């Protein structure tokens, strides 16, 4: 239904907007005229394409979530490699990767005092289990690490710590999920909980990775819904002794066999030089992994397919990579770096989409270790490419970009581009049961395909490297 109605839902004046953007781009001498035509063709093809959406639909509805070590992740890898070969992309490979294998198992939580009531929770990735009989203990709630330290061991020992921390943006708030168990255990807590790292909840907890310190005894660590965290906080503030029961049967099994997925559109002149784009094929074990990051791998995939279908073969090779295990340690990114070896020097640029498929606004660009002169020249060239995307609102190029899977490449100087969107609702769905296909607007998805296709094609075809 969504595919059939897409064309009729395009905004009035779309063609005129593209024409105006092309005219503005043509005033920039650094972008030769053939790129205006190529960009227009790629954008037009992306906005009328059904193939990418069909792939995303299959991945989400037929395969589903794909946590590292799971059978569903391996089905996704096998399916993607088979489809890439069927579509005629070159050098399709699945280099092996060992990945962590954490299994959630059964889990539950409930208030037992001052009332009896269920608590919606999700164990955090890597957490240990509770004892088989579960843990029942008093809850102490804090809104910061400073508050926890101020309580001291006498107030924390033998209790469950709840980090009831308001949303302050992902970067600031996620620390309580990542290291909360360590801090609580140092003071003698028997378990720790974190208010889900999200600005909005419909009593839907959000999972994610967490860490232990070998020097500190591990304790169970889980996320609870925003509503449950707020309720517990109010009960404590009203002078009640709050007791909670939590039971988790999580376990970490030996590392499992997995793989990255790689495919290429070989360059016509310098095929040894690489422009890489991709996302991560794994997800958490809840929802469908639609926004994080099914849309990313499929949008990058379709961007390359459209180049091939249009006969737009760039000067350099465009390499597509679906990394495994981004969520639980980044072993796929590390393995890719080892796999390329000395050929890293031939990577002209790396593009990653791992911020969801809301309406795209552009890309962030970084070159680690570059001089100001090199960075400024690269940024200017990137902005000139961005001018080709102004007509679809995706032409903003800013300094600073790149995500986890291209991190190992960027740390060694490969220019990195991080995909950017309006980011209005992504963290409402992130790592939760709500990360499902219906949260993706097909039109926004196609805009992302268009933006990725234009950036990747021009980076791969321009006479010089972006950092030259």
**Cis preceding-peptide flag for 114 (omega within 30 of 0):** yes
Cα separation, 243 vs 433, in Å, equals: 27
Exposed / middle / buried, residue 269 (Cβ in 10 Å: 0-12, 13-18, 19+)? exposed
Nearest to 157 by CA among 171, 179, 140, 142: 140
List beta partners, residue 109. 119, 246
Query: Helix, strand, or coil here: 394?
Result: coil
Query: Helix, strand, or coil here: 144?
Result: coil
Cα separation, 181 vs 184, in Å, equals: 5
Residue whose token pair is 């992302």: 448
- Max CA separation in the chain (angstroms): 73
Query: Is 326 a catalytic site residue?
Result: yes
| Given 57, 264, 326, 428, the catalytic residue | 326
Order of strands across the sheet with 191-195? 117-119, 107-113, 243-248, 135-142, 160-163, 191-195, 221-224, 121-123
H or E stretch including 306? helix 295-309
Task: For Cα atoms 423, 262, 378, give the angle at the middle one, nearest 5 degrees.
Answer: 55
Please count the residues of the chain: 468
Nearest to 323 by CA among 289, 282, 355, 263: 282
Q: What is the 3-state secondary structure (H, E, C) of 19-60?
A: HHHHHHHHCCCCCCHHHHHHHHHHHHHHHCCCHHHHHHHHHH
Instruction: Note whether 349 and 275 are within 8 A (CB).
Output: yes
Instruction: Note whether 301 and 358 are within 8 A (CB).
Output: no
Indicate which residues carry an active-site annotation. 326
């Amino acid at each position: 239904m969504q595919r059939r109605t897409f064309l009729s839902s395009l905004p009035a004046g779309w063609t005129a907007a593209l024409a105006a953007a092309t005219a503005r781009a043509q005033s920039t001498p650094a972008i030769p005229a053939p790129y205006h035509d190529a960009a227009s063709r790629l954008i037009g093809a992306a906005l009328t394409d059904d193939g990418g959406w069909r792939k995303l639909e299959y991945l989400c509805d037929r395969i589903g979530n794909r946590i590292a070590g799971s059978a569903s992740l391996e089905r996704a890898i096998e399916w993607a490699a088979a489809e890439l070969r069927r579509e005629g992309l070159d050098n399709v490979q699945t280099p092996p990767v060992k990945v962590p294998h954490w299994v959630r198992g059964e889990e539950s939580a409930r208030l037992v005092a001052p009332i009896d009531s269920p608590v919606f929770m999700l164990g955090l990735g890597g957490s240990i289990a509770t004892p088989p009989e579960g843990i029942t203990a008093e809850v102490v709630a804090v809104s910061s690490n400073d508050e926890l330290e101020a309580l001291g061991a006498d107030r924390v020992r033998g209790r469950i710590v709840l980090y009831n921390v308001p949303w302050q943006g992902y970067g600031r708030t996620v620390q309580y999920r990542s290291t909360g168990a360590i801090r609580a255990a140092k003071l003698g807590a028997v378990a720790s909980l974190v208010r889900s790292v999200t600005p909005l909840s419909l009593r839907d907890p959000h999972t994610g990775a967490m860490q232990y310190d070998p020097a500190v005894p591990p304790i169970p660590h889980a996320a609870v819904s925003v509503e449950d965290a707020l309720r517990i906080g109010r009960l404590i503030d009203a002078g009640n002794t709050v007791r909670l029961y939590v039971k988790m049967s999580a376990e970490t099994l030996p590392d499992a066999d997995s793989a990255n997925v790689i495919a290429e559109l070989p360059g016509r002149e310098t095929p040894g030089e690489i422009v890489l784009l991709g996302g991560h094929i794994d997800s958490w074990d809840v929802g469908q992994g639609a926004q994080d990051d099914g849309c990313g791998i499929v949008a990058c995939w379709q961007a390359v397919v459209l180049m091939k279908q249009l006969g737009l073969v760039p000067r350099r090779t465009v390499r597509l990579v679906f990394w495994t295990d981004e969520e639980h340690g980044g072993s796929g990114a590390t393995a890719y770096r080892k796999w390329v070896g000395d050929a890293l020097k031939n990577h002209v640029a790396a593009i990653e989409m791992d911020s969801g498929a809301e309406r795209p606004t552009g890309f962030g660009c970084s070159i680690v270790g570059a001089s100001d002169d090199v960075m400024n020249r690269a940024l200017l060239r990137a902005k000139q490419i961005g001018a080709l995307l102004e007509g679809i609102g995706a032409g903003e190029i800013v300094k600073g970009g790149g995500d986890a899977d291209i991190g190992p490449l960027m740390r060694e100087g490969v220019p990195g581009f991080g995909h950017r969107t309006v980011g209005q609702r992504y963290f409402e769905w992130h790592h939760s049961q709500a990360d499902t296909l219906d949260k993706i607007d097909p039109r926004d998805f196609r805009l992302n395909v268009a933006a990725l296709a234009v950036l990747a094609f021009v980076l791969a075809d321009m006479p010089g490297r972006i950092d030259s």
